[in-house]
Amino acid sequence: MPVYHAPTKDMLFVLDEVLKTAEAGIEGYEDLDRETLQAILDEAGKLAENVLAPLNKVGDEQGCSLENGVVRTPEGFREAFDQMRDGGWTALDCDPEYGGQGLPYLVSTAVGEMFSSANMAFNMYPGLTHGAYNAIHAHGSAEQKATYLPKMVTCEWGGTMNLTEPHCGTDLGLIRTKAEPQDDGSYKITGNKIWISAGEHDMCDNIIHLVLAKIPGGPDGIKGISLFIVPKFLVNEDGSLGERNALSCGGLEEKMGIHGNATCVMNYDGAKGFLIGEMHKGMRAMFTMMNEARLGVGLQGYAQGEVAYQNALGFARDRLQGRDVTGVKNPEGPADPIIVHPDVRRNLMHQKSFVEGARAFTFWGASMIDRAHRNEDAAAEGLISLLTPVIKGFLTDKGFDTAVLAQQTLGGSGFTREWGLEQFVRDARITMIYEGTNGIQSLDLVGRKLGQDGGKHVMAFFDMVKDFIKETKGQDEAFDRDFLDPLKLASKDLQQAGMYFMQNGMKNPNNALSGSYDFMHLFGHVCLGLMWAKMGLAAKAAIEGGASDDFYAAKLATGRYYMARQLPATAMHLKRIESGAETVMELDAANF
Q: Concatenate the DSSP letters of all residues of 56-75 into one string.
A: HHHHHHH--EEETTEEEPPT
Among residues 334, 454, 545, 546, which is the contact residue for a second copy, using CB under 8 A?
334
Stretch in the footprint of a second copy (CB under 8 A) among 43-51, 120-128, 280-288, 506-514: 506-514
432 binds a second copy (CB under 8 A): yes
CB of 19 to a second copy, least distance (A): 23
Query: Using CB under 8 A as the criterion, what x/- string covers residues 571-590 for binding a second copy?
Result: xx--xx--x-xxxxxxxxxx
Other CB atoms within 10 Å distance of the CB of residue 583: 10
* Contact call for residues 441 and 518 (beta carbons, < 8 A): no
Which residues, at least 6 apart from 372, have a Cβ–Cβ distance to it below 8 Å?
378, 380, 381, 384
CB of 114 to a second copy, least distance (A): 19
Q: Is 79 a catalytic residue?
A: no
Query: Using CB under 8 A as the criterion, what x/- string covers residues 349-388 for binding a second copy?
Result: x--x------------------------------------
Q: Which of 113, 356, 422, 435 is catalytic?
A: 435
Q: By C-beta, is 185 or 334 nearer to a second copy?
A: 334
433 binds a second copy (CB under 8 A): yes
163 binds a second copy (CB under 8 A): no
CB of 565 to a second copy, least distance (A): 5
CB of 172 to a second copy, least distance (A): 10
408 binds a second copy (CB under 8 A): yes
412 binds a second copy (CB under 8 A): yes
CB of 308 to a second copy, least distance (A): 13
407 binds a second copy (CB under 8 A): yes
Among candidates 48, 49, 29, which has minimal Cα distance to 37? Answer: 29
CB of 121 to a second copy, least distance (A): 13
477 binds a second copy (CB under 8 A): no
Q: Please, is 22 exposed, middle or buried when counting C-beta atoms within 10 Å of its C-beta (0-12, 13-18, 19+)?
A: middle
Among candidates 320, 367, 378, 368, which has minimal Cα distance to 344? Answer: 320
Number of residues that bind a second copy (CB under 8 A): 95
Among residues 37, 64, 215, 339, which is the contact residue for a second copy, using CB under 8 A?
339
Among candidates 432, 37, 470, 384, which has minimal Cα distance to 258? Answer: 432
φ/ψ of residue 495, rounded to 5: -60, -40
Side-chain-side CA neighbours of 333 within 13 Å: the count stands at 14
Among residues 169, 181, 218, 250, which is the contact residue for a second copy, using CB under 8 A?
169
Q: Please, is 101 exposed, middle or buried when counting C-beta atoms within 10 Å of its C-beta (0-12, 13-18, 19+)?
A: middle
513 binds a second copy (CB under 8 A): yes
* CA Rg value for the chain: 24
Give the dihedral of Cα atoms 358, 110, 122, 254; nearest 10 deg: -20
Which residues, at least 6 apart from 504, have a Cβ–Cβ distance to it below 8 Å?
511, 512, 580
3-class DSSP state for residue 464?
Answer: helix
509 binds a second copy (CB under 8 A): yes
129 binds a second copy (CB under 8 A): no
Q: Binders of a second copy among 534-553, rule CB under 8 A?
A: 550-551, 553
Any idea which residues carry the catalytic annotation?
Answer: 435
